[in-house]
Amino acid sequence: MPHPSTFRSSDDSQMLFSSVARDNRRLLANAVRHPTLEDWPRMWAPSLNASGRKVVSTRQVSACLAKLEWESKTVVDLPALLHPTRARAPVGGVFAFQENGPDVYTLALQQNTGPRVTKHVLGIHPDTEVGLTMDPTQDLLAVVFLAQIGSDSANLALRSLSANQPHPMALFPIITVEDVEGGLVRMRIAEDVVGVSFEKRAGYPGTVRLWNWHTGALLADVPQGNAEQNDFQFLTLRVFVTTCAEDSGWIEIFLVTPAKTPEQRSVDSTRDLSITAL
């Protein structure tokens, strides 16, 4: 069972640790039952007993994880970085990490050839990079960065993970994104679609934009109004969901209707669900 890898600094060097569990049957035997939807009102009810059960469950899971044994460990020396590293969640066995500089590094844990570290020279100012995501199954690295510091326009760069080149399947390796400000909430990839969720800033409403990364065509631009968006995720290739924690919270599901021309394109909110505050 792969274990989430962690970064640490030792003697000014960066190291990555990745382990494989020897026996996860102990984990299954000692694991507590995760609460289902029906359990949530009781588990989170404002009562001392309910809170106590939640704490006990959390401690049992933590103790169980602490008992795991490991049969192998891989230690990879990373480049000597002058500044703290920002690590990205692993996707498809590939890790991404970045120093406070213009480059991004990816680490692929390959069975045949062993770990391989690739330096992706993006040539952008560190203060302009606002997010990245990747899909190793398509050899795709997608990076959003501002045209310049404080700019209200950005660029979406589509690159090959393995070749450190503009992706050969992208008709437009760099897509210009207008009318944005500052950071973003999430980036996602679903086959031929790249989705970017820009957060709300002063004078700029939050928005979710979808592109066909092969053709560069804009598939959807969905303003999020004044809501403070918390997450964005694809459910299927043409359906995505956004969440918000304001007030009692809500989940909104959108359907992108395929179209032959931009004029025929439409995005419909198919469901808007209120969530009882937990």
DSSP labels, 23-69: --HHHHHHPPPPP-GGGHHHHTSSSHHHHHHHHHHHHHHHHHHHT--
Dump pLDDT digits (tens) for 113-154. 667 777 776 666 655 666 788 888 888 888 887 776 666 778
Q: Is the pLDDT of residue 248 over 60?
A: yes
Q: How confident is the model at residue 5 (pLDDT cuts 50, 70, 90)?
A: very low
Q: Specify the pLDDT at position 256.
A: 73
Q: Report yes or no: 75 and 16 within 8 Å, Cβ to Cβ.
A: yes
Sign, CA dihedral 244-250-49-68, equals: negative
Mean of pLDDT over the chain: 65
Task: For 52, list phi and psi in degrees, rounded to 5.
Answer: -65, -40
Residue of 203, 111, 213 lying closest to 156 (CA atoms) = 213
Dump pLDDT digits (tens) for 209-222. 888 899 998 888 87
Q: Specify the pLDDT at position 62.
A: 53
Task: For 99, list phi and psi in degrees, rounded to 5.
Answer: -85, 175
Residue of 91, 92, 116, 113 lying closest to 105 (CA atoms) = 116
Q: Where are the beta strands (DSSP E) in 174-259?
A: 174-177, 184-190, 193-198, 207-212, 218-223, 229-236, 239-244, 250-257
Task: For 170, list phi and psi in degrees, rounded to 5.
Answer: -95, 120
Of the listed ranges 3-7, 134-138, 169-173, 226-230, the least confidently predicted one is 3-7
Question: What is the distance between the terminal CA atoms of the chain, rounded to a whole angstrom?
Answer: 31
Q: Specify the pLDDT at position 258.
A: 57
Q: Specify the pLDDT at position 225.
A: 63
Q: Hey, what are 210's tokens?
A: 């979808």
Kindly state the average pLDDT of the residues 177-190: 74
Dump pLDDT digits (tens) for 44-70. 344 434 444 444 555 555 555 555 555
Q: Is the pLDDT of residue 195 over 80?
A: yes
Q: Report yes or no: 178 and 223 within 8 Å, Cβ to Cβ.
A: no
